[in-house]
Chains A and B, each alone.
Chain A
Amino acid sequence: MDWMIVLAFISQMVRISVPYTLAAIGGTFSERGGVVNIALEGILLNGAFTCVLATHYTGNPWVGVLAAVAGGVATASVHAVVSITFKAEQIVSGLAINLLAMGATRFFLRIIFGSSSNSERIAGLPEWDVPVLGDIPVLSTIFSSPLILATIVIIFASQFVLFKTSFGLRLRSVGEHPEAADSLGVNVSRVRYAGVLLSGALAGLGGAWLAMDQHSFTDGMSSGRGYIALAAMIVGKWNPLGAAGACLMFGAAESLQMQLQGQDVPTQFIQMIPYVATVVVLAGFIGRSIPPAADGVPYEKERQ
């Protein structure tokens, strides 16, 4: 067995799963608060676009990362207003936002960069020199990437925030039983807003990864990753560590698919893995995966 191939496989798996993980954890925050977020796809796309735009104009990739987070939060805020304030159908809102993001990024891609396929090349983030971890062959590329390190921190921090802090408790309570939370003085709308906007920030950061990884924006570059993140969130049973694990698994499948490309193996069947896994998990064949009780249900405060 050639170790270099194994290390290359692992490195590729990690890199593929970064945007999945950020979006899936974002989705977890949103849905734990009771708001279904199918807009992850559009948030990734808008995040990537604002990242490229900001980096292009300032020349500073860090500004680009901030812009991606801002773009993600802005996109998510549309979803929050429509589904929390207007109490509208959350799934349709998400789908409409995805359509809007697709159209808007293409529109501005053509206006700003004069191309219907891709932007100009942008500067990437600098690589960090991390002691010890940076000395491992091949894998050093993982530990030198600021966004990958940030993702690792985010995974554990999210798990902590969701289950060990009072904000996490409030968020889960408005997702499980908003009436009870309301009667205890929790502002249901405000906490749900926080969950959705947080999902926008995280998925927006995922968009920054896509843009930085490719050093440009290409049309439709989220290419279904938001939906895979949704799948990972479910397979991970609405918790950050689980979602990250599912993302690594999906990343491994995709990495395998890439290794097999060019050989006469029908890669479509490997492509199906995340989706089939989700259907199987939802049907309860591998442990039950139960969404938060009030997931997708707008909260109607009792009127006097």
Chain B
Amino acid sequence: MSSASEQSRRFQAARKLAGVIGVPAVAIAAAFAAGAVFILAIGESPVSVYGRLFSGTFGNFYGLGQVLFKATPLIFTGLSVALAFKAGLFNIGAEGQLYIGTFAVAWVGFTLSGLPGVLLVPLCVLAGAAGGALWGAVPGYLKSRFGAHEVINTIMLNFVAIALTGYFVTHVYFVPETVHTQRIAAQAQIPRLEQFWPVFKGSPVNVSLFLALGIAVAVYFFLWRTRFGFELRALGLNPAAAEYGGISVGAGTVLAMTLSGALAGLVGVDFVMGYKYYYEGGFSSGLGFMGIAVALLGRNHPLGVVLAAFLFGALSYGGLVINAVVPKELVEILQGIVILVVIAGTNVFGQLAASFKRGRPG
């Protein structure tokens, strides 16, 4: 009897592992296969294009540096979306939250320029988190207070955030003839990896990558090792049961959206403190939306998010590598297909597994 239950547990574990790794793997393979059709259609060789894509990204340190640079903001936005997902909330607003957060980083960086770096750096980071948190808290509050759906509100607030920061950067804080603010103080700028490892020379990848990885670990500990994290996950699994168990759905919703927004706001640490040293209008072009794909592919787990961010980072830099042969938009097509296959496949896999289980005796 114990061996039967042991067997069933192993079966469960194997099924879970296959679902976690199998579906994303199939999705990536399907996307590359579909991409090959596009490549053939324009008369190029998929083998040579994909070979170029691979060698240009992971084949040398410069490419690797660019991949890490592209992956850094995606880790933040992926974690943002994943944390909200865990609490049963769909944050499509990472895009808006990162605009507000990034602007806040720059604003603190050039306004409090008299402070020493040891104070200014953490203040800038906090400003990014706070800006994003504020923009995330609004739909959280609207949901808990009025029952207004966070999906629609976060979409709408994205546009409001872009318009609001657009106003600041065209009417209030701007360098004439540009759409960016003045530079942040020199002591607020964080080092690039090329300063420690010259092999990354020329890539803007900077120490915010380590912040992103550290935050991923922190999110893991928060969700699986703390009481608040447990409550948020309970909320995501079954809000009614969670409420019966004494968890406040309203407070949990606001907390989850606030934290989710804070994570998205940290994109500004990479963009402003490590890359451009100023805020620039329209800089993101979809990092928040890509975070949804990253979270999905990473199964809403911090480790998965980090891996998925590297994959999507590699694709988005890879687009530039192959651009001479195939339009770089090929990678957008690949990314779109990955997402569609993941969401369709997750369900199909679940049904297959269920029917397999039903077919078994006992």
Chain A residues within CB distance 8 Å of chain B = 36, 38, 78, 81-82, 86-89, 91-93, 95-97, 99-100, 102-104, 106-107, 110-111, 116, 224, 227, 230-231, 234, 266, 268-269, 271-272, 274-276, 278-279, 282-284, 291
Contact = CB atoms under 8 A, between A and B. Distances in A.
Contact of B339 (A81, A96, A268): A96
Contacts of A269: 163, 167
3 smallest beta-carbon distances between A and B, as pairs: A103-B332, A100-B336, A96-B339
A99 B159 contact: no
Given A82-B340, A86-B343, 10 more contacts: A38-B155, A78-B340, A92-B292, A95-B289, A103-B329, A103-B333, A279-B142, A279-B148, A282-B148, A283-B146
B330 interface: yes
Interface stretch (B101-109, B111-119, B122-130, B344-352): B344-352
A99 B347 contact: no
Nearest to A303: B358
12 contacts: A81-B344, A92-B292, A92-B296, A95-B92, A96-B293, A100-B337, A103-B329, A106-B329, A231-B152, A268-B164, A268-B171, A269-B167
Contact of B142 (A36, A88, A283): A283
A170 B180 CA distance: 53
Given A107-B38, A276-B156, A282 B142 contact: yes
A284 B160 contact: no
Contacts of B146: 282-284
B47 interface: no
Q: Which label, helix, strand, loop or mixed, suits the secondary structure of the A interface?
A: helix
Interface residues of B, number: 44
Nearest to B355: A303
Contacts of B330: 103, 107
Contact of B332 (A106, A266, A284): A106
A38 to B, nearest CB: 8
B187 interface: no
A179 B45 CA distance: 50
A262 B333 CA distance: 38
Contacts of B292: 92, 95
B90 interface: yes
B110 to A, nearest CB: 21
A102 B333 CA distance: 8
B206 interface: no
Nearest to B147: A284
